[in-house]
Structure 1
Amino acid sequence: MKELQLLETKGTMTSLEIAEITGKEHNKVLRDIRDETNKIGTERAEAIFGLSEYKDTTGRILPMYVLNIQGILQLGARYSADVRYKLIEKVTKKETVENKENTFKNDLINIEKDKIRLEKSRILKELSQSITNDKYKQTLQIYSANVLYDEPILALPEVNKKSYSANELSQLIMNEHGIKISGNRIGRLTNEHNLKTDEYGYWALDKSRHSNKQVESFRYYDNVINEIKKYI
């Protein structure tokens, strides 16, 4: 309902609340607000006195106003110092309570976010411990640390050299050297002559051609070509 939305606005008070604080009948408070409206003009009054409505105990829809801080001060000037003090105390207390509630809600949201971050970090760390490939292990450990923060605190390792799968290397050798050799034969030769080392490439996780599983495969640097040519 409109009046409930207005009541949720920060630093506001309804004419019903003002009637309760002042001890005046509500229709008298409405009369005072309308009198202030006549004095300051409709345009300025609408910015501080928001016309709304409420339902009484008999179900009748009746008018009321929702006042912001400036409206409360404007209307409060008509009343005694004691009443003005109570009005300001009440609206300040409402605002403080609302701020505390918002802070509490935000704190809960932040706590949940932190829990999710910690869980992600834990999973990544566990994954890194189950992988033998040093490059992937290091990458997962870096992700595990970075996920805890809004901005990355560790840089991922740079890949400076272009690498090739056995089939890609086979095509490269054919294109650049005119030598026909299959990816399978490249794999056999490099195994036989211990060429799968850090000097000539690295182990990486690739998708298996026959399933969705991740399998370790060796990715070659192009400097291995000269070594392979020795054994062809």
Structure 2
Amino acid sequence: MTGFNLSNSFGSVTEKTIDSQELLSLVNQARTSCDEKAVRNNVFIERIKDELDGETYKIFVGQKNGAEIEVAEMTIKQAIRVAARESKAVRRALVDKLEAMQQAHIEKNKSGSGLVEYRLAKAEQLKAQALEKNIASARDLMNMFPRLGDAANQVIVATLVNPLLGVEVVPLPAIEEHYHTAGEVGAMIGVSSQKIGRVANANNLKTDKHGKFFLDKSRHSDKQVEAFRYNAEGIKALKHLIHGVDVA
């Protein structure tokens, strides 16, 4: 993930403009957090030209990795319009940042000081760093617990990413059916949770047909563990195996 450039953002707010390289960095930062592909500079420049057709803005030649590239300089208001072309999830995160930059400029003009915009820019920098760290943590958790289903992985990402962005970029999965712990199933059937686990393991019931693995806290420590929870089919199979009858 591209880091938030504090010095560049500070300068662009002061001048009431932002150049396309700074804006592209913000766009790709937001796209990465939403699992979308980064945009190349030449594609982004064409998008800017199309959006701002007939308006006043600057185009000049810049340098990137030793090569010459086109760079556009525009107002924050124009940048927000360019940002509006992104997907809904990316647009929310991106427009909030641009509006914060615009508000910082307004506050500076009121106070005659750059302290407010500096603090806002610093906060954005820290937020970007925390977001990068949380995304890495989510990947580590999913690699550590490979049996977790898509819904459980989605919860992990949503829990770590959404609070930092302040919007529901990654929605929580809809609950399609109820899942019960071994203890809850044991209480229904009249046996211990340990017996539920033994019967399930002996008969290979821990499959998608009978339930799902979830991330849970260990009963004996603060460690996170994979815990299987049973759906209606799983409970029905356990009742049959333990009591020898089918119970609806």
Which TM-score applies when normalising by structure 2?
0.46
Structure (1 or 2) with the larger CA radius of gyration: 1
Which TM-score applies when normalising by structure 1?
0.49
